Amino acid sequence: SYVLTQPPSVSVAPGQTARITCGGNNIGSENVHWYQQKPGQAPVLVVHDDGDRPSGIPERFSGSNSENTATLTISRVEAGDEADYYCQVWDSSSHHFYVFGTGTKVTVL
Amino acid sequence: QVHLVQSGAEVKKPGASVKLSCKVSGYTLIDLSIHWVRQAPGKGLEWMVGFDSEDGGTIYAQKFQGRVTVTEDTSTDTAYMELRSLTSDDTAVYYCASRVVTATYFDSWGPGTLVTVSS
């Protein structure tokens, strides 16, 4: 099965840049999507297809994807960005189809 | 704007079944592909099952095949997911999520339904 590996936690000071990685075998050939989940809430899509933002998502959220690592970048981090973040791909080659990453807790110091 | 409303929390005994609902508004069910994702307490997201709009069939995560059934009532724009032979490992929040036909991501999510399996 396709495995997406994320760091368990990332800490960042307000106003700085947070980078969350998502590692997978040749993930650069897949479309990667990112979700933000705050405690007790449903996930929210923040980036889709590597780097596109849904309507209403601030430009501070951006994404990139190359070779074996996809990255979600949060610029000018705010306290409200503290949340869990998950990457996700659609893997048609396995029986796991929609695969989520292990998740990263972003803490704003 | 798609809006998904899910049924209320459930408490079930081991071995029982649970059937959850997800009502769509803002779109009609036939224009969406509804999927189910669960999250055990303190754990990550786990995709379970959904409707593959490309071939019109249902696709399953291998671990749930044979134990889960999804149905849709287009007259009420409501999707259902039934999970059978529950164990304590099935205790989780179950989300329905939608994707448009051409996408491989979930752009709308329901608020989730907590299912607790306990004797």
pLDDT tens-digit map of A57-92: 999 999 999 999 999 999 999 999 999 999 999 987
Q: How many CB pairs under 8 A join A and B?
A: 63
pLDDT of residue B55: 66
pLDDT of residue B101: 77
Distance CA B53, CA A92 (A): 14
Nearest CA in chain A to B36: A98
Mind spelling out the 3-state secondary structure of chain A?
A: CCCCECCCEEEECCCCCEEEEEECCCHHHCCCEEEEECCCCCCEEEEECCCECCCCCCCCEEEEEECCEEEEEECCCCHHHCEEEEEEEECCCCCCCEEECCCEEEEEC
pLDDT of residue B97: 98
**Nearest-CB residue to B44 (from A33, A49, A103):** A103
The pLDDT averaged over each successive group of 10 residues in chain B (119 residues) is 96 98 93 95 96 79 94 95 98 96 92 98
Distance CA B68, CA B49 (A): 8
Burial of B30 from C-beta contacts in 10 A (0-12 / 13-18 / 19+): exposed
Q: Which of B106, B107, B113 to mutate to test the interface with A (most CBs of A within 10 A)?
A: B106
pLDDT of residue B33: 92
pLDDT of residue A12: 97
| Contact between A100 and B62 using a beta-carbon 8 Å cutoff | no
CA B53 to chain A, closest CA, distance in angstroms equals 14
For residue A7 the two structure tokens come to 């760091």
pLDDT of residue B53: 64
pLDDT of residue B105: 95
| Contact between B106 and A86 using a beta-carbon 8 Å cutoff | no
Distance CA B88, CA B44 (A): 17
Give the dihedral sign, CA B20/B30/B1/A18. positive
* Sheet with A69-74: strands ordered across: A18-23, A69-74, A61-66
For residue A15 the two structure tokens come to 């106003």
For residue A28, pLDDT beyond 80: yes
